[in-house]
Structure 1
Amino acid sequence: MTRIALTIGLLLLALALAGCRSMERPKTLGAGARVVNTVVGTSIVHASFNGQGMGGGGGEECCVSLPEQWRPGMTATIEWVKDPSPELNPDGRRAPPWNPDGTTPPEWQRWMKEHEANYVRRKVTMAVPKYEKVSSLVLVFLPCDEVYPLIDSAEQGRVLGGLRGREDRYPEMIRRLGGRQTCSGGG
């Protein structure tokens, strides 16, 4: 084989290997996940991060899969369902009581169907904030239908650390994340 043919062959092999390497899936880690809703008077019914579902109750759940290392250009699609008026239907009616045996009466089921029709569904694709060390995934829901994914352990400490109380901590969280405290339309 001539030198030129050998050089071309090695170049082609190097390009093929580089192409395969760029197609490698990033290594991932399993991490706990939770929702923090800073919007008083609403609740997050369900949320997902890149298709990985999470409940909206606020407690940590197991598990979501996150890339081990942050990469420039990394994005995430976050979807959520928001209840804009927990416990009340748009007309101001509260849910009828359940039966004494714990079953739901037909009136409650009708009320719930009306209630769920008022849910608001949102979806956003956004840049994932840079992270150094994966701690867990905390989706922080802010006023104006904004959401912030906290992944980095130091960033979680900066945003969530040293907060007091329950309701009164939300304005400070919003401030630390640079969000708006209020918005038009009550988002």
Structure 2
Amino acid sequence: MSRVLIRVLWLMLISGLSLQGCTPPKPVRLGAPIEGFSHTSAAINRFSVNGGGGPNLAPYGYGGGQMCCASLPVKWHPGLTVVVEWVKDPDPYASANWPPLGTDGYRAAYKLHAAKYTRHRAVVPVARYEELGLVNVHFLPCNQVAVSAGATYPGRPDYPFHFSQKMQEPATCPES
């Protein structure tokens, strides 16, 4: 082989190897949109998953569209958990009997009502997923929470949870 050919092949090899470094690495974590479901008579005024905010949820309701985002691994692994924090209004229809909106009486009633909100935090296992997708947060009786993060959704047979839309609080809740 001629020296010129060897040099050309050597340069092609070096160039090819250096271009491999230009390929972006596959992400390990991604931001996934969050939505929620309240299966109880309480309203969820706000909630978050790993710090990413979720929509407000009406009693027994699906909540207000998707919000962004919860950072989760692209690949599920055993022991995967998220931190869910939420504020619950145990009497979401109380304002029906308040003085007119914008009055001092209304503001006073709201202040008394808001003092009854409860704040919660739970470290929750994430149901197994094959492909990272929408983060679904289910608020259940006794301040329990279930979380999925796959490419499936409630109502499908492959969805990991099949909760009744309306669940009643028991007279006493088990201690956590």
Alignment TM-score, normalising by the size of structure 1: 0.64
Instruction: Give, as a single letter, the amino acid of the residue that structure 2 aligns with 1:174.
Output: F
Q: Which residue of 1 aligns with 2:108?
A: 110
Q: Does 1:184 align with 2:171?
A: yes
Instruction: State the SS of the aligned residue for 1:108.
Output: helix
Superposed displacement of residue 182, structure 1: 4.2
Alignment partners' CA distance in 2, 1:136 and 1:84: 27
Q: Deviations over 1:94-148 (max 9, x none)?
A: 22222xxxxx221111111111111111111122221111221111111121111
Runs of 4+ in structure 1 deviating by more than 6 angstroms, as ranges, are: none
Q: Does 1:84 align with 2:65?
A: no
Instruction: State the SS of the aligned residue for 1:144.
Output: helix
Q: Which residue of 2 aligns with 1:9?
A: none
Instruction: Give, as a single letter, the amino acid of the residue that structure 2 aligns with 1:87.
Output: Y
Superposed displacement of residue 77, structure 1: 1.1
2:85–2:120 Cα contact (<8 Å) kept: yes
1:87–1:95 Cα contact (<8 Å) kept: no
Alignment partners' CA distance in 2, 1:122 and 1:62: 20
Instruction: Give, as a single letter, the amino acid of the residue that structure 2 aligns with 1:95.
Output: W
Alignment partners' CA distance in 2, 1:186 and 1:43: 18
Instruction: State the SS of the aligned residue for 2:163.
Output: helix
Alignment partners' CA distance in 1, 2:99 and 2:49: 34
Q: Which residue of 1 aligns with 2:15?
A: none
39, 58, 70: which one aligns with 2:76: 70
Instruction: Give, as a single letter, the amino acid of the residue that structure 1 aligns with 2:163.
Output: I
Percent of aligned positions that are identical: 30
Instruction: State the SS of the aligned residue for 1:113.
Output: helix
> More helix by proportion, 1 or 2?
1
Superposed displacement of residue 175, structure 1: 5.2
Instruction: State the SS of the aligned residue for 1:107.
Output: helix
Alignment partners' CA distance in 2, 1:141 and 1:124: 11
Unaligned runs of 5+ in 1: 1-25, 99-103, 163-171
Superposed displacement of residue 34, structure 1: 1.2
Instruction: State the SS of the aligned residue for 1:114.
Output: helix
Alignment partners' CA distance in 1, 2:115 and 2:107: 12
Q: Which residue of 1 aligns with 2:36?
A: 35
Q: Does 1:123 align with 2:112?
A: no
Q: Which residue of 1 aligns with 2:98?
A: 95
Give the total of aligned pairs. 138
